[in-house]
Amino acid sequence: MALFGFSFPLVFLLLSCFTTLLLCNANAFPGHYHNPIQRHRHPRFASHNYRDALTKSILFFEGQRSGKLPSNQRISWRRDSGLSDGSALHVDLVGGYYDAGDNVKFGFPMAFTTTMLSWSVIEFGGLMKGELQNAKEAIRWATDYLLKATAHPGTIYVQVGDANKDHACWERPEDMDTPRSVFKIDQNTPGSEVAAETAAALAAASLVFRRSDPTYSKLLARRAISVFEFADKHRGAYSTRLKKYVCPFYCDYSGYQDELLWAAAWLQKATKNPAYLNYIQANGQILGAAEFDNTFGWDNKHVGARILLSKAFLIQKVRSLHDYKGHADSFICSIIPGASYSSAQYTPGGLLFKMNDSNMQYVTSTSFLLLSYAKYLNTARQVVNCGGTAITPKRLRAIAKRQVDYLLGDNPLKMSYMVGYGPRYPQRIHHRGSSLPSIAAHPAKIQCSSGFSVMRSQSPNPNILVGAVIGGPDQHDSFPDQRSDYEQSEPATYINAPLVGTLAYLAHSFGQM
């Protein structure tokens, strides 16, 4: 019997193959098996356009800019803001980033954002192609500000804006009339965690610009050295003396020891000065004592320092750093589902879950660490041993990819948690500039309290903050898309920063770059 010119056995065979292909692809990438498969460019399947997501993840930073915007500003609904920042203390603190959905410039998370953007470029910048320059611009917007904040020896300006008064308003950054109070640390008001993170940011960024702008790179490295000396010499937490202004927003919960180790690791990498390796060897046991702590984010750098120092052991063969490989392996074993010593929690849909408040920051930072460590292991031809089970670099990359795919839409709600990516994404993010009409649409000033009617409304945000990754779903994969729900609906620079490197790797890996 023939059917459409084919014999029945042949038709049956073709249908079987086609069905198998669909089912296999559907199981691998739920909800996305209908997407085009770029088989001609790479043998593996990609359920997402990682290159598009990379472009957008970097573009987001332009929406968070403070200061005088450049002529090539791409998020056009934003305008100049904070042009008198620093004037309260007769210093120039114009520029930098608003960290999240409000109008305060917090130095601690801004520095961490800078470090992670820099690390993204250091590890995966060679894969970014046309986006590398945009990534460098995002870093430079931050480092230009951090150079201003550290321009006076013995003083670091760590915050512009009174958060409590800022949060009493819902207004565009362009309309700000809340106090632009300036807060600083010095020898009488120490802040080792924010100073050391700033040193780490400057040191990491110096590596980014080493070839393209050696003069700028040297300036960043010199400043990193002096800022670290200050952080180490005048030890103390900034949230002790400045508690009223920095807590509970960016209070130091993990102590400053992790930042000192983290900064020393970056300075050792940037300067190759043996003094930093000696410092790590002499102080590492004390500064990095919290081996059980497997949270990596703006406050806690223990895991990041372990991964970074294990790179020096694995690739540069710095034998004295052997212990950090073991500490890094312990972290890996803690997050591998089903592995011995695994302590990580995952939602029913498969998302790594640490806490309700801005959980996606831990998803992006952990995914970046997984890919970076996989790269180091691959180069050194090593694996991770979890209770007798060998965890390969390939396994680490698969876990990282699964987390990013969930973020981009492979989840029970079929929602992308990156604004502007995919057919369905959050419409009511907790962000003042995005939620209020733009200057172009509404030139008149919007007063402090009148914006709250918009904040409480159910209307979608009129301005799309492209690339913004928000806090994300709860432990049950639920997401209400409510503007008032800052824990789940607020974007932040430190959520996006590590994602930049991860997306660059995935885009390259799947033949999209």
Given the residues 430, 431, 477, 508, select the one marked as catalytic: 430
Residue 251 lies in a domain: yes
Stated as kind and residue range, the H or E segment containing 434 is helix 432-435
DSSP state of 438: P
Residue 277 lies in a domain: yes
Contact of 187 with 154, CB cutoff 8 Å: yes
CA-only gyration radius of the chain, Å? 23
pLDDT of residue 287: 76
- Non-local (6+) Cβ contacts of 321 within 8 A are 280, 309, 310, 312, 313
Residue 200 lies in a domain: yes
Distance of CA 503 to the CA centre of its chain: 11
CB burial of residue 448 (10 Å; 0-12, 13-18, 19+): middle
Residue with tokens 């876990």: 399
Residue 501 lies in a domain: yes
Residue with tokens 């029945």: 8
Structure tokens, 252: 């130091």
φ, ψ at 433 (rounded to 5°): -60, -35
Spatial distance between the Cα atoms of 208 and 141, rounded to a whole number of angstroms: 13
Residue 26 lies in a domain: no
Q: How many domains would you assign to the chain?
A: 1
- Non-local (6+) Cβ contacts of 240 within 8 A are none
pLDDT of residue 285: 77
Can 430 be counted among the known catalytic residues? yes
Residue 27 lies in a domain: no
Can 323 be counted among the known catalytic residues? no
Spatial distance between the Cα atoms of 145 and 91, rounded to a whole number of angstroms: 12
- pLDDT per residue of the chain (513 residues) written in tens, 0 to 9: 333 333 333 333 333 433 333 333 333 333 332 332 233 334 456 789 999 999 999 999 999 999 999 999 999 999 999 999 999 999 999 999 999 999 999 999 999 999 999 999 999 999 999 999 999 999 999 999 999 999 999 999 999 999 999 999 999 999 999 999 999 999 999 999 999 999 999 999 999 999 999 999 999 999 999 999 999 999 999 999 999 999 999 999 999 999 999 999 999 999 999 999 999 999 887 776 556 678 999 999 999 999 999 999 999 998 999 999 999 999 999 999 888 788 999 999 999 999 999 999 999 999 999 999 999 999 999 999 999 999 999 999 999 999 999 999 999 999 999 999 999 999 999 999 999 999 999 999 999 999 999 999 999 999 999 999 999 999 999 999 999 999 999 999 999 999 999 999 999 999 897
CA geometry: angle 48, 54, 55, nearest 5 deg: 115
Distance of CA 12 to the CA centre of its chain: 50
Given the residues 62, 123, 174, 490, select the one marked as catalytic: 490
pLDDT of residue 16: 40
pLDDT of residue 44: 56
Spatial distance between the Cα atoms of 51 and 483, rounded to a whole number of angstroms: 28
Can 490 be counted among the known catalytic residues? yes
- Three-state DSSP class for residue 42: coil
Spatial distance between the Cα atoms of 478 and 416, rounded to a whole number of angstroms: 13
Bridge partners, 159 (sequence order): 106, 183
Bridge partners, 156 (sequence order): 185
CB atoms within 10 A of CB 153: 11
Spatial distance between the Cα atoms of 85 and 178, rounded to a whole number of angstroms: 12
Q: What share of the chain is helix, strand, coil (3-state, %, to 5)?
A: 50, 5, 45
Q: Is the pTM of this model over 0.85?
A: yes
Contact of 230 with 259, CB cutoff 8 Å: no
Output the domain CATH number for residue 302: 1.50.10.10
Residue type, 331: F
Given the residues 293, 481, 485, 487, select the one marked as catalytic: 481
Task: Spell out the SS3 assignment of 182-239.
Answer: EEEECCCCCCHHHHHHHHHHHHHHHHHCCCCCHHHHHHHHHHHHHHHHHHHHCCCCHH
* Secondary structure E strands in 88-212: 105-106, 156-160, 182-185
Residue 43 lies in a domain: no
Domain, as residue range, for 76? 50-509
Residue 5 lies in a domain: no
Spatial distance between the Cα atoms of 34 and 444, rounded to a whole number of angstroms: 47
